[in-house]
Amino acid sequence: MSNSSPKSLGQKIWRVISGFEIAVVCLGLLFLLTFFGTIEQKWIGLYAVIQKYFDIDSFLVFPSRGDGKFIFLPLPGAYWVMVVLSINMFCGGLIRARKGWKTVGVLISHFAILFMLVAGAVSSVSKVEGQMSVYQGEKSDFAQKYHTTTIEVAKLDEEGHRLPPKIVPSESLRSLERNDVLRAEFPDEGFTMDITGMLGSSNLFMERTAERSNEDGPVVDGFFLREAEYNKDNELANMAGCYATVKDKEGNEIQELILWMGNPSPVSFVHNEQRYLVTLTMEIWPMPYEVELHKSVGEYYPGTRKASTFESTITKVANDQREDYKIFMNNPMRHGGFTLFQANWSDTGGKPFSGFAIVTNPSDKWPEYSLYVATVGLLIHFLLMLFRFAGGSSRSRKS
Amino acid sequence: MSQNHLEKTRGLRWGLVAFLLLIEFSLIGVGIKGSVTPSEVRNVDGYNPWSEKVIEAARDIPVQDGGRIKPLSTFARFQMLSYHGAVTMKIKSGGKKRKITPTEWLLDCIFRPELANELPIFRIDDSEVLHRYGIIPKDRRARLSFNDLLDDYGKGPGGKDRLLKGGKEISEKRSKEERERKSMTPNQIEAMEASEKEEEKEEKRKEKLIMEFAQQVLNYEAMTKFLDFGRIELDAPDFPDELFKDEGRDPEKFSTWISRWNQLRAIFIMSSQQGIAVPDEVESLAREIELNLNSSRYGVRWYPPYDEDENEWQSIGDRIITILEKQDFPWDTIDDEVKELEALNEGEVPERLKMAGFWKELMDDMATMEGLVEASEKPDSPEFLAALESWKDEATARAKVRGEGGEIEGEVKYYQRNYFMKALVFFLIAFIFSAIGWFGKEGRFGKGIQIAMISFFVLALIYLAWGILHRSLLMGRPPVGNLYDTIPFITLGATLVMGVAEWMTKRNLLVSLGSAIGVAGMFMAFRFEYGDATDHMDPLVAVLKSNYWLATHVVTVTLGYSGGLMACFLSMVYVHLRLAGVIEDDKKFRRFMTRAVFGIVCFTLLFSLVGTVLGGIWANDSWGRFWGWDPKENGALLIVLWSLIILHARLAGWMTDWGIHLCCIFFGSVVAFSWWHVNMLEVGLHSYGFIKGGSVIWLFYGACGAAFVVGVIGYLIDRNSKKAPKGE
């Protein structure tokens, strides 16, 4: 970078924006955020930490201790620190930096790291993740999105078939807390639904067999919801639950429902002689192709419960085109912007089953490309430094 | 200070540097010493060591453990480590001190259980937890024998039984608490945890120790009893001849009654159907057979499975049960039927004939084991040696047919060569020579010392590299796949770089530091292996089974760790040398040190960054996300960030020599956190790397902190001396 003294205000601002000082401060802040964001996972789990420290919506972070008390060290959200760092890197590491053969490596590596940060930003905004579960011999054309809770209300036709459901979207339910009330309108159907008592992790109890306390939710059809300890080690095991009161246009109660994510079958109500099915579920994510699972194999090392291999033989069916794939650990199937990974396997119940993690991410391969470029840049720069160092050492020994 | 004065006090100043470094690192030594069990040498009367030939015959018997086929000696090593916390046991017998190796101890367990029960095999770190069961050892950290649990400390035969009952009760209580917790609300859990007193927490810790210890005792018992069927003499009643065919078999032998098990069972079924009581002596015989059959299901798994499609090796009990499950088989007339079937099915092997073959093999194996146990009554006899060798040959041949056990010989050699212990010794000798060299580099003496130092350093490097290579070949994968593997690899990386830097600079200092790192690394490898008591050559979990990623991501990121640690140690040396004033007159050297550290930070950045991003790409291929803010990933990122902070702060002009070195001392703690501490958090997707405990890491942080303080003092003195008027 040029060290000449700035003259105008604009130059001064430019110098600050592109200066090493901002880079060091941003890196220092990222260091602290990463450190606290690692430690705190022990107490609140990975997903909660990501939301607290690294999410785009996180502007100010108060790191806290295991007992939940804050450490008085407010820090800016990591996402926004990275935005500032990227701007600084662009201005200082690319535009303002000296251009010459001595700095070519630095320029290349700055460019590559910037590209990697952009990949991260794109990923955090547009990446979608979910899971598809298929039993051997069966097929599926949908997945369920992780960390999304939706309410599906489906009408049954005259023959009792489920029609495409109306959805209460996860965006509305995400910020809902236990004492909040959300009114979902279904004008075409002529009813509303008041959603209350939302719990991120809950258990469903039968009144007859469990003692109900003041903290528990109301009893509906002999059942009630009780808040459960949040499982931070296996976040997908947390079962959300809530109550829904269905009312007609005049505000008269039609039925009260208890919705629990772990419930294998939907609950139902009747309005105007029409039956509706209601489920609290992870958001359904239709796939552009169907997956037929022919063989699902899980093996453990002999005499242990240590997984040796999980493997699935599938056929992808899209527009009458059939393609066979073998998916196993470290060997996903990439097609049409979707990637399918072998995430888990089970044969409990006698029928083998494969759980596929599904991801769509426009910047899927960008970090890989930027790594190659960054490595070349850093190698050029550090090798030049090493030659200079070795030359210096040898000259100083001679002298 | 005058040049003359500096020269005169140079030795003293080097001594001061060594003293300060020793004080700081003795912190770690003190911590380690606190965790060492006093090595009381127990007197075991009548202990006769196994002959070398017997040990040789036993050690490469193939067994299955941890998901792979390994030599019996390796199995014994990790069994002994899990009970004893060491790979040798010191005892006194006949007035002589003896060291018992793992293979010898396992031979005792299998063939001389009465003697094995006298050996102080169980290490317990807090023996006070046993007091409640009437077992009162002398020391808090103690080594107990199985018999100590029975009578000596137990003041009666019930100590062990009380302990096992106690362990079971605690386990049931824990399960109940866990179930209750699942039905509680977070508020109730919080209230319960808040009301938990310190004594209750302490009690929980003790209960955990009791459960673990009780489990160890159970496992040990299984190991000493699995061949009991070969020792017992059954008291069989006289059955009518028409009930059991007299094949000239010994009615006192277990195998005889296993061959007659279905007929014996038929007696019980018929008695039950007809409402007639089974005679007491028949019932007692059946009970004894069942008891021994159960014992024989545990212990060493050294029988390959019958079916070539199966991959799980078995115990004799499992083999018996597998076959007896086919209850419709007329086992007493099997030989006749086999002949008939063979005649009928030329070339074809029907299922029935296959089972008959397995049955015959089982009968032969049981006879072999009974013969082996009988011969072991005279452990020095040629009969026992012959029987043991015969079983080894048989097991090896069967493994070979299955394409297994090909690495047995190589693995035995790997442990016999003890590469890492040799490397430790040579690094230590190199360090001692280098320390002598600090006090005088000139003349023939100095030259001699230097040659000796370099020779031992190179020898240590060869052994270290050879050991890593040998392990890698045995495992059939790149050298780093688990936390243990990283220790020798990081040590090799650091010492190799120090060696190359020494060769380039000829300053004598870097080889001293490299030797010290070598000693520390090898020591740490042993400590970790002994503490963890896990065979780290066992196969890796499915997600790690990728030689490409192990060879790229893991190796690169590990080299990054090694760079960060090197920078830390070099800076530690630098600040001590500066504080002691040893290099105040040598500006070139000071500059060299700073440039070397700076170069190593660049090296660390390159490898950490590439390694971390490669890890992200691997995660993207395995789990579908490049970056997940998981502790292991974050740890690697912290190293990258700290390297970048050092490099950019220097460019910003915020750091001089002292600043760089102080930051690099802190770098050591960052690397320790990333390499080690994140695994202790036990959270995240890298669950295969989780470890327990690790108080030593806090001592390492303490040593870094102490060196940092030394650096700050050195910096303040240096700053004040520069401010002072000239001539003062």
Query: Residue B6 domain-assigned?
Result: no
For B685-711, write each residue's pLDDT tens digit: 666 666 665 667 888 898 899 999 999
Whether A205 and B681 lie within 8 Å, measured CB to CB: no
Mean pLDDT across the stretch B69-79? 97
Question: How much is the average pLDDT of A113-140?
Answer: 90
Mean pLDDT score of chain B, rounded to an integer? 85
Q: In this complex, do B634 and A116 lie within 8 Å of one another by their Cβ atoms? A: no
Share of chain B above pLDDT 70, in %: 87
**Cα of A25 vs its chain's centroid, Å:** 28
Is residue A333 within 8 Å of residue A325, measured between CB atoms? yes
Same-domain status, B162 and B270: no
Query: DSSP string spanning A159-206?
Result: TSPBPPPEEE-HHHHHT--TT-EEEEEETTTTEEEEEEEEESSEEEEE
- What DSSP element (H or E) covers B660? helix B657-672
Cα atoms found within 13 Å of the Cα of residue B318, Cβ hemisphere only: 15
Give the torsion through C-alpha atoms of B352, B358, B364, B366, to 10 deg. -120
Q: Is position B456 within any domain? A: yes
Give B62's pLDDT tier (boundaries 50, 70, 90): very high
| Rounded CA separation A241/A176 (Å) | 11
Question: What are the tokens at A364?
Answer: 């899927």
Burial A201-240 (b: 16+ CB within 10 A, else e): bbbbbeeeeeeeeeebbeebeebbbbbbbbebeebeebbb
Predicted confidence (pLDDT) per residue in B96-153, tens digit:
899 999 999 999 999 999 999 999 999 998 888 998 888 888 888 888 999 888 865 5
Answer yes or no: do B280 and B198 share one domain. no
Q: How many CA atoms lie within 13 A of B507 on its CB side?
A: 25
Three-state DSSP class for B705?
A: helix
Mark whether B427 and B345 lie in a shared domain.
no
Least confident of A65-74, A94-103, A119-128, B404-413: A65-74
C-alpha–C-alpha distance, residues B288 and B89, integer Å:
34
Q: Is residue B11 part of a domain?
A: no
pLDDT of residue B281: 85
Question: What integer is the mean pLDDT of B438-446?
Answer: 74
Give the pair of three-digit tokens for residue A137.
């011999």
Whether B392 and B421 share a structural domain: no
Decide: B617 and B633 in contact? Cβ < 8 Å. no
In a domain, B436, yes or no: yes
Write down the pLDDT at residue B155.
58
Q: With CB atoms and an 8 Å threshold, state whether A205 touches B183.
A: yes
The domain boundary, picked from B368, B401, B434, lies at B401
* Full 3-state SS string of B34-52: HCCCCCCCEECCCCCCCCH
Of the listed ranges A41-45, A355-359, B5-9, B303-307, the one predicted with least confidence: B5-9
| Residues written for chain A | 399
Chain B CB contacts of A123 below 8 Å = 626-627
- B514 plus B580 within the same structural domain: no
Q: What is the pLDDT of residues B245-294, one digit of tens each?
A: 656 678 888 888 887 777 787 788 888 888 888 888 888 888 999 999 99
Partners of residue B651 in chain A, C-beta under 8 Å: 20
Q: What does the pLDDT read at residue B728?
A: 39
Phi-psi category of residue B347: left, alpha or beta, with phi > 0 → left and psi -120 to 50 → alpha: left
Do A210 and A161 meet the contact criterion of CB atoms below 8 Å apart?
Answer: no
Residue B29, in any domain of the structure? no
Tell whether B327 and B434 lie within a shared domain.
no
Asked if the structure places residue B114 within a domain, the reply is yes
State pLDDT tens for residues B190-240: 788 778 788 888 899 899 999 999 999 999 999 999 999 999 888 877 776
Asked if residue B563 and residue B443 are part of one domain, the reply reads no
Could you give the C-alpha distances from A232 to A228, B418, B499, in angstroms and in order?
12, 43, 46
Q: Which residue of A has its CA nearest to B540?
A: A308
B479 and B571 co-located in one domain: no
Mean pLDDT throughout B617-645?
89
**Closest residue of chain B to A210, computed from CA coordinates:** B183
Alpha-carbon distance of A267 to A259, in angstroms, equals 7
**pLDDT above 70 as % of chain A:** 94
Number of domain units in chain B: 4
CA B31 to chain centre: 20
Residues B526 and B620 in one domain: no
Q: What is the pLDDT of residues A249-259, one digit of tens each?
A: 889 999 999 99
- Which of B186, B505, B638 is the closest to A34 by Cβ? B638
Distance from CA of B69 to the nearest CA of A (A): 10
A230 interaction partners in chain B (CB closer than 8 Å): 186
Q: pLDDT confidence of B727, banded at 50, 70, 90?
A: very low
pLDDT (0 to 100) of residue B17 = 74
Cβ atoms A359, A129 nearer than 8 A: yes
Of A309, A357, A371, the CB nearest to B613: A371
Smallest Cα distance from B402 to chain A, Å: 14
Same domain, B506 and B593: no
Interface test with B, best of A1, A16, A22, A24 (most B CBs within 10 A): A24
Chain segment A262-274, per-residue pLDDT in tens: 888 899 999 988 9
* Residue from B309, B620, B639, B640 whose CB has the most chain A CBs within 10 Å, to mutate: B620
Residue among A207, A238, A301 with most chain B CBs within 10 A, to mutate:
A301
User: Cβ of B506 and A397 within 8 Å?
Assistant: yes
Q: Is residue B489 part of a domain?
A: yes
Residues of B in contact with A392 (CB under 8 A): 595
Nearest to B606 among A38, A339, A378 (CB): A378
Per-residue pLDDT for B395 more than 90?
A: yes
pLDDT at B238: 75
Contacts of B549 (CB under 8 A, 6+ apart): A330, B614, B618, B621
Q: Are A205 and A258 in contact (CB under 8 A)?
A: no
Q: What is the mean pLDDT of residues B507-531?
A: 88
pLDDT: which is higher, B155 or B452? B452
In this structure, are strands B42-43 and B89-93 parallel, antiparallel, or unpaired?
parallel
Domain final position from B176, B196, B229:
B229
Claim to verify: residue B637 and residue B575 sit in the same structural domain: yes
Domain end point (choices B360, B380, B401): B401
pLDDT tens digits for range B597-628:
998 999 899 999 999 999 988 888 887 778 88
Q: Give per-residue pLDDT as tens, A305-342.
A: 888 889 999 999 988 889 999 998 888 998 888 899 98
Q: Which residue of A has its CA nearest to B549?
A: A330
Do A213 and B681 lie within an 8 Å CB cutoff?
no
Q: A139 vs chain B: nearest CA distance in angstroms?
A: 21
| The pLDDT of residue B339 | 63
pLDDT band at B374 (very low <50, low <70, confident <90, very high): very high
Q: How confident is the model at residue B23 (pLDDT cuts 50, 70, 90)?
A: confident
DSSP three-state, residue A220:
strand
Nearest to B319 by CA among B301, B292, B338: B301
Contacts of A231 in chain B (CB under 8 A): none
Q: Are residues B396 and B263 in the same domain?
A: yes
The tens digit of pLDDT for each residue in A173-190 reads 888 888 899 999 999 999
Distance from CA of A251 to the nearest CA of B (A): 33
Residue of B nearest to A205 (CA): B183
Chain B residues with CB-CB distance to A379 below 8 A: 606
A97 vs B349, residue with greater confidence = A97
Which of the pair, B186 or A342, is modelled with greater confidence? A342
pLDDT band of A6, cuts 50, 70, 90: low
Report CA torsion sign: B421, B427, B433, B435: negative
pLDDT tens, residue by residue, A297-306: 998 999 888 8
Q: Which of B545, B648, B684 sits opposite A27 (nearest CB)?
A: B648
Could you list the residue range(s) of the whole structural domain that residue B198 is in? 42-229
Contact B618, B553 (CB under 8 A): yes
Task: Choose the most confident range, by mean pLDDT, from A40-44, A55-59, B51-55.
Answer: B51-55
Q: How many angstroms separate the CA of residue A114 from the nearest CA in chain B?
A: 14
Whole-angstrom distance, CA of residue A42 vs CA of residue A49: 10
Q: Give the sign of the dihedral formed by CA A303, CA A308, CA A313, CA A318.
A: positive
Does residue B26 lie within any of the structural domains?
no
Q: Cβ contact (<8 Å) for B629 and A226? A: no
Mean local confidence (pLDDT), B382-403: 93
